[in-house]
Amino acid sequence: MGDLIAKARAQGRALSLSPEAFHKLSALVTLLILIFVFALSSPAFLSINNGLTVLLQTSVIGLLGIGMTMVIITGGIDLSVGSVLALSGTVTGLLVQAGVPVLPAMLAGIAVGALCGLVNGFVITKMRITPFVATLGMMLIARGIALQLTGAAPISRLGEAFGILGNGALFRIVEMRENGFPRVVFPGIPYPAILLLIVAIAAAYLLRRRQIGRHIYATGSNEEAARLSGVVVDRTKMIAYALSGALAGLSGMVLMSRLVTVQPNEGVMYELDAIAAAVIGGASLMGGVGNISGTMIGAFIIGILRNGLNMAGVSSFIQQIVIGVVVILAVYVDQLRSRR
């Protein structure tokens, strides 16, 4: 193993890869190996249907991971995303139940998420509470509000329209057979996957091509230097946390819509998956490092691990162990590359 890594590092140097590219490549190779191994162990793994299932399952981790990546690049962390996801979903569910049309209700849910993020940012920048503690507080607050609003009971019977975002698909082809039963020729690309793609591209654009993105990196890299250079550090952080909150809200919409039920208990521990995705993708909790494409690879590594282990009949307890080991290994490889 050590040999392998040393060899890979030597090759990386020979190809004069930047450390970041090297990390991304190693994550990508890991992803391909996973796909290969699971394909061998279960014939159903490599089917179109399962591929789409993976896309669907990964979209929630991916959306959370994108927001988490921005926050982690600023040198912070957002532990509240799982709870904010639940609160946003709850608000939307209650609004739909009260007769508000689905789209405005969902937008309101996302706005609630963004508001939670803004509060996080405010507590961190103005009250000078560390991100870990501030977002831990928000994690409890948002979850508590969601449970209080619903009495901890799920909200169901939200109507067909509420389920479109999570269950609909683009290019779905269904043909009617002679016996009168429909046959699905191609199940279509699920809307959540399309949404993930759009958000990922937008976030990558924001981080790479816009001033705010540059300021997010600068803030995480050296906060004092950024401040002295005229970067409004507080505003930059607020925006990062608000975006993370809004994306948590959005993933809440996707998740609850998929179940066509609002569960105030949904999304527990999702923040850890999101952090794991970002870290596997090369983001550094010290700040200043990370990118969206890496996080996407990280999210898919987690998604495919879950899916593949499920199909191979591995218990969810073992899955946790495996994912834990992967996270540690990813960070270990990351440290090796920065030492070379």
Partner 1 sequence: MALDAPQIQPLVEMKAIEKHFGGVEAVKSVSVDLYPGEVVGVLGHNGAGKSCLMRILSGAMMPNGGEIHVAGQKSDITSPHDARDLGIETIYQTLALADHLDAPANLFLGRELKTRFGNLDDRRMLREAQEVLRRLNPNFKNLGDPVSSLSGGQRQVIAIARAIYFDVKILIMDEPTAALGPSETAMVADLIRQLQSEGIGIFLVSHDMHDVFDLCDRVVVMNKGRNVGAFKIEDVTKDDVLSLIIKGELPDDWAPRNLETAR
> What residue ranges bind partner 1 (CB under 8 A)?
208-211, 213-215, 217-218, 220-222, 224-232, 288-289
Radius of gyration of the chain (CA): 21
CB of 65 to partner 1, least distance (A): 20
* 8-state DSSP, 282: T
CB of 214 to partner 1, least distance (A): 6
- For residue 183, list its beta bridge partners: 175
Give the C-alpha distances (Å, rounded to integers) separating 206 from 58, 190, 247, 248, 337: 22, 25, 14, 18, 27
CB of 196 to partner 1, least distance (A): 23
- Helix (H) or strand (E) holding 176, with range, is strand 173-176
What is d(CA 279, CA 296) in angstroms, rounded to the nearest whole number? 11
Nearer to partner 1, 33 or 232 (CB): 232
Nearer to partner 1, 218 or 323 (CB): 218
- The pair phi, psi for residue 176, each rounded to 5°, is -85, 130
Give the C-alpha distances (Å, rounded to integers) separating 280 from 53, 61, 166, 212, 283: 22, 13, 26, 24, 7
CB of 83 to partner 1, least distance (A): 31
DSSP secondary structure string for all residues of 224-238: HHHHHTT--HHHHHH
Nearer to partner 1, 106 or 240 (CB): 240
CA atoms within 13 A on the CB side of 144: 6
Nearer to partner 1, 162 or 217 (CB): 217
Nearer to partner 1, 39 or 212 (CB): 212
Burial 229-248 (b: 16+ CB within 10 A, else e): eebebeebbbbbbbbbbbbb
CB of 80 to partner 1, least distance (A): 26
What is d(CA 127, CA 48) in angstroms, rounded to the nearest whole number? 50
Nearer to partner 1, 23 or 258 (CB): 23
CB of 72 to partner 1, least distance (A): 13
Give the C-alpha distances (Å, rounded to integers) separating 237 from 76, 153, 241, 242, 290: 9, 35, 6, 8, 16
- Helix (H) or strand (E) holding 221, with range, is helix 211-221
Tokens of 309: 């282990």
Nearer to partner 1, 43 or 230 (CB): 230
CB of 12 to partner 1, least distance (A): 15
Q: Which residues contact 199 (CB under 8 A, 6 or more apart)?
A: 63, 66, 247, 250
Nearer to partner 1, 91 or 218 (CB): 218
CB of 217 to partner 1, least distance (A): 6
Nearer to partner 1, 61 or 73 (CB): 73
CB of 222 to partner 1, least distance (A): 5
